[in-house]
A and B are shown apart, each in its own frame.
Chain A
Amino acid sequence: MTTATATLAPKAFKSELKPIWCPGCGDFGVVQALYRALSAIGRPAHEIAFISGIGCSSRIPGYTTAYGFNSVHGRALPIAQGLKMARPELLVLAAGGDGDGFSIGGGHLPHAVRRNQNITYIVMDNQIYGLTKGQLSPTSPKGLKTVTSVDGSLENPVNPLMYVLTYGAPFVAQGTPADLPGLVEIIEAAIRYPGFAFVNVQSPCVTFGEPEQQIKTQKATMESLEGMGHDPGNLIEALDLSRAYGTTLHTGLFYRSPEPPPTFDSLVHERQQRMMADALPRERILEQFIQR
């Protein structure tokens, strides 16, 4: 059962717990955007479950009044999917960082995409492992010098946008706390989308991040996809634009499938209904095994 109330203020989703993120962290903007998006959605906190992995950003469920589970490294998606199967009526959100989602949890992402459950997955991508004090992450740019790459990284970064688009995600967007109104819109649209919605947020690490990744630089350099005239129904164009990940900060909706494919939960439900309709009544079950 769901309740839609348009009167829930953003504050209704803010918990008493005070964030311990470094002052200046991009994640403060992300959680603010989330409060506002949830307020616009209008479902009360007790109908929302928020699952995260491990990392700075994975603390985010605790800063909301939703039911939360700060789970195991890289395992936000499996837990969120299990929860959505068991309690399809809940609004299920998953969140984590780029290391959590694309490295240790990288194996789960394509399966979550192809399964297409009605879950919104928000990744706070800061291109670094911040909680453990600045090691290379899967999205760190090539050449980045860190304590684990003193002469610069030799690897190309993972491109999360292209990754999920090619696996067939029906909703793919990118935002930044440098554009709070835009981020609110993206998260709200993702939650409203009936299927797996992926939101990559370029949320800078103020302590170990690069100067050009910080909010002031993002404000000056970001490019709105809507402003460029991008049609979010055009998958080929979305894929082409996603190639600029790491060089140009595109914000907004890359792709939204114009015809949302059926979700895994709805297919399971449909199959359950069909099997129940064809099922023998309880008193006749033994007929399948005993010849009279």
Chain B
Amino acid sequence: MSPTKGFDFAGLGLKDALDLAVLIEEEARDRYLEFADQMELHHTPEAEGFFGYMARNEEKHRVALASRRTELFGDAPGTANRTMLFDVEAPDYDEVRAFMTPRQALESALRAEEKAHAFFAAALLEVRDASVRVLFEELCAEELEHQALVQGQIEQLPPDSGLDPADFADDPVGQ
């Protein structure tokens, strides 16, 4: 199942490719913000802090890509919009749980970075425009760097307690 809809990568130009890249970062930022809110609501402060950090990182990447787009193409209208994206770099909604550990939160981000890398790697097989190819290769490499960063952070964490987050849920009651 493709995480995008309506993109013809073989015919993709640099303007639309940059717009797509901006939207991917925006989608990921919004998802991490949602996750941070969910964790706040469900009293999981460490994961909340981590998802907030990820949201800020995605926003930084979005701003950098958006600046490049503006420098090259100004306000020229593009064809890409958010309805054409389905969780390219945004972690899936079912990645999170109430009372998840920091390790679990980082692992969900790692899977999201792997997913994004796989997306750009697959798109590169179809891309024909040389400038788009350079951009996607750069983004592919960045996703690998992000994976290494997250992996490094996971390795620094103390081991989990071994408790299942489900152990913290309220006991079901009969009615």
Q: Mark B137-150, 1 if CB is under 8 A from A, else 0.
A: 00000000000000
Binds A, one of B35-43, B61-69, B116-124, B154-162: B35-43
* Docked-complex contact B42 and A180, CB < 8 angstroms: no
How many angstroms between the C-alpha atoms of A20 and B171 in the bound complex?
19
Q: Mark A186-217, 1 if CB is under 8 A from B, else 0.
A: 00000000000000000010111000001110
How many angstroms between the C-alpha atoms of A215 and B95 in the bound complex?
10
* Docked-complex contact B175 and A135, CB < 8 angstroms: yes
Q: Mark B76-112, 1 if CB is under 8 A from A, else 0.
A: 0000011100110000111111101000000000000
CB distance from A220 to the nearest CB of B (A): 11
Residues of B within 8 A of A (CB): 1-2, 5, 34-35, 37-39, 41-42, 44, 81-83, 86-87, 92-98, 100, 166, 169-175
How many angstroms between the C-alpha atoms of A11 and B26 in the bound complex?
12
User: Among A133, A214, A216, which residue has the most Cβ atoms of chain B within 10 A?
Assistant: A133
How many angstroms between the C-alpha atoms of A36 and B95 in the bound complex?
21
Q: Judge if A177 is at the interface, Cβ distance under 8 Å.
A: yes
**Contacts known (A9-B81, A40-B83); A23 close to B172, Cβ less than 8 A:** no
Residue of A nearest to B92 (CB): A215
Residue of A nearest to B99 (CB): A23
Q: With a CB–CB cut-off of 8 A, which chain A residues contact B93?
A: 24-26, 28-29, 32, 177, 215
Q: How many A residues face the partner with a CB closer than 8 A?
A: 36
* Docked-complex contact A24 and B37, CB < 8 angstroms: no
* Docked-complex contact A23 and B174, CB < 8 angstroms: no
**Contacts known (A18-B41, A181-B86); A206 close to B97, Cβ less than 8 A:** yes
**Contacts known (A133-B170, A134-B172, A206-B94); A23 close to B87, Cβ less than 8 A:** no
How many angstroms between the C-alpha atoms of A11 and B30 in the bound complex?
11
28 interchain pairs, CB-CB under 8 A = A9-B82, A18-B37, A18-B41, A20-B41, A22-B42, A23-B42, A23-B44, A23-B97, A23-B98, A23-B100, A25-B93, A39-B83, A40-B83, A132-B175, A133-B170, A133-B173, A135-B174, A146-B172, A147-B173, A147-B174, A148-B175, A180-B86, A181-B1, A184-B83, A207-B169, A214-B94, A215-B93, A216-B94
Q: With a CB–CB cut-off of 8 A, which chain B residues contact A180?
A: 86-87
How many angstroms between the C-alpha atoms of A181 and B7 in the bound complex?
14
CB distance from B55 to the nearest CB of A (A): 14
Q: With a CB–CB cut-off of 8 A, which chain A residues contact B175?
A: 132, 135, 148
* Docked-complex contact B35 and A23, CB < 8 angstroms: yes
Q: With a CB–CB cut-off of 8 A, which chain B residues contact A23?
A: 35, 38-39, 42, 44, 96-98, 100
How many angstroms between the C-alpha atoms of A176 and B77 in the bound complex?
34
**Contacts known (A180-B86, A207-B169); A22 close to B98, Cβ less than 8 A:** yes
Interface positions, chain A 1-20, Cβ under 8 Å from B, are 9-11, 18-20
Residue of A nearest to B95 (CB): A24
* Docked-complex contact B94 and A208, CB < 8 angstroms: no
How many angstroms between the C-alpha atoms of A132 and B175 in the bound complex?
8
* Docked-complex contact A26 and B172, CB < 8 angstroms: no
Q: With a CB–CB cut-off of 8 A, which chain A residues contact B81?
A: 9
Q: Mark A27-67, 1 if CB is under 8 A from B, else 0.
A: 01100100010011000000000000000000000000000
- From the candidates A133, A206, A215, name the one contacting B172 in the complex (CB within 8 A): A133
